[in-house]
Amino acid sequence: MGKQVSETAVHGDDILLSRRTLLTAAMAGAGLLLVAPARGHAATPLFVENVTQLYTVEVARIVAPRSCEELRRAVRDWPGAIAVGGGRYSMGGQAAIAQGLHIDMRQMNKLVWLRPETKTVRVEAGMRWRDLQDHIDGHQLAVRTMQSFANFTVGGAVSVNAHGRYVGHGPVGHSVRALQMVLADGEVVETDRQTRPALFRAAIGGYGAIGVITEVELDLDDNARIEQRMTKMPLRDYPAWFEREVRPPAKACLLHNADLLPPAFDEAWATNWCVTDKPVTVPERLVPRDRTYRMEQSLLWAVSELPNGDALQRKYVRPALFGKAEVAWRNHEASLDVRMLEPASRRASTYVLQEYFIPAAKCLAFAADMAQVIRAHGAKVLNVSIRHSPRDEVSMLPWAREEVFSFVVYYKQGTEDAAQEAVGVWTRNMVDAALKHGGTYYLPYQLHASAAQFAAAYPQAEAFRAVKRTADPKGRLSNSLWQRYL
């Protein structure tokens, strides 16, 4: 899916620019693309896509600021709606608003300061985790909490209050010390847990509705050698096994996830990475940036397209992966590249995610309902990855109101309208299952949930709206997500 854009570059980190707009911006030398079309000539359309290439949004302007001052002027001077984006990995238009201004943060990617002695760092919000790892690895430091892949921007991770496989850490907001933001009127503010705490709490997991995050101050951890340990078990045994083998601090378990495979989703293939003194078996400290992923991409195609692909994954692919126990640096496992999950083409189909957060005591009951929904609708789910999180102590819109297990659903769908409508049906059924068991769903994905489901999953939304009315009384900061639910 997606509209064709004439005279437009859409490659990697390139933003969508017409040739005329690019030339004018270069002459201006300001790093901003605030260019009005010549009188009597139609403007070349500008589109903002996300990684799935679903839900492309046509915008009026795109700016790519290189400093807080350039961004502040762009926000202050733009008369209409504004949305902000980083890596554009959210999947339902969260980075753009129709006919509005799109702020592309990826040029604001500098290291502000690094203090190894206190294990703290401050970066511009457009920096990717992988770039931050380059700065801190030589100091034997690691990102405290981040997604499983390093391609995402730091500001984007804070805006969605991301999490990863870290045991006991919870969402990334727990490691955020302070934020710099530009508010809708152009004011630059500093905020933390003591200074303007309502802004701080609302911005973490606020998807750009409160302000444009320009700098993020973070706690770091020590880098360490970690050993991979893998166990397979019936799903019914998983909660007790988790309590025994993962939760106790004495196990020194740093990273954990357990995969459920189709069609039954009744076995847990669990992987722990635990701190060890053993020598590393993986020589690289970080995943090389130039690595190719053709083998991984081919395996994904095979298990999702070949006859009996589910059996192929259970009998051959997964056991082969389970046979590769390793000892690696923490930073190596944290620097994985999401390209290993990319299809060769998204013209006919694409890979997508959903995620559900379920109270720990209800995880088995939800898993049974989830499997029933998937099978009933014939959804092409490749796997479901289980993670764990304690209660969120920071965000105003927490996805973990208590201790939860998260169920990350990784699936393949067609790009045509009928396929999107079909996915919407079973997605709403999945949301109903999560709500039935006292859980919630994650907001960075396709906007299939109803307004009533959003209200039930995020009962704190009215408090969030109150902060927004104060920080952005005209409602200028928005996107497709907030346009639908806020």
Lowest-pLDDT choice from 152-166, 306-320, 456-470: 306-320
Integer Cα distance of 385 and 399 in angstroms:
17
Residue 36 has pLDDT above 80, yes or no: no
For range 301-320, the mean pLDDT? 92
pLDDT of residue 224: 97
The sign one gets for the Cα dihedral 461, 463, 469, 471 is negative
Q: Which residues of 63-74 are buried (b: 16+ CB within 10 A; e: fewer)?
A: bbbbebebbbbb
- To which residue do tokens 């102590």 refer? 393
In 94-216, which residue ranges form alpha helices assigned H by DSSP? 129-136, 154-159, 197-203
Enter the pTM of the model: 0.90
Structure tokens at 193: 């847990």
pLDDT of residue 80: 97
pLDDT above 90 covers a percentage of the chain that reads 86
Closest CA to 153 of 208, 200, 210: 208
Residue 23 has pLDDT above 70, yes or no: no
Read off the pLDDT band of 42 (50, 70, 90).
low
* 345 burial type by CB count under 10 A (0-12 exposed, 13-18 middle, 19+ buried): exposed
Q: What is the DSSP string of 329-360?
A: EHHHHHT--GGGG--S--SSEEEEEEEEEEEG
For range 35-48, the mean pLDDT? 63
CB atoms within 10 A of CB 182: 26
Check if the beta carbon of residue 176 is closer than 8 Å to that of residue 204.
yes
Closest CA to 275 of 167, 171, 117, 403: 167
In 184-264, which residue ranges form alpha helices assigned H by DSSP? 197-203, 238-245
Q: pLDDT tens digits for 245-266?
A: 999 887 789 999 999 999 999 9
Residue 34 has pLDDT above 80, yes or no: no
Strand-pairing partners, residue 384, are 260, 409
pLDDT above 70 covers a percentage of the chain that reads 91
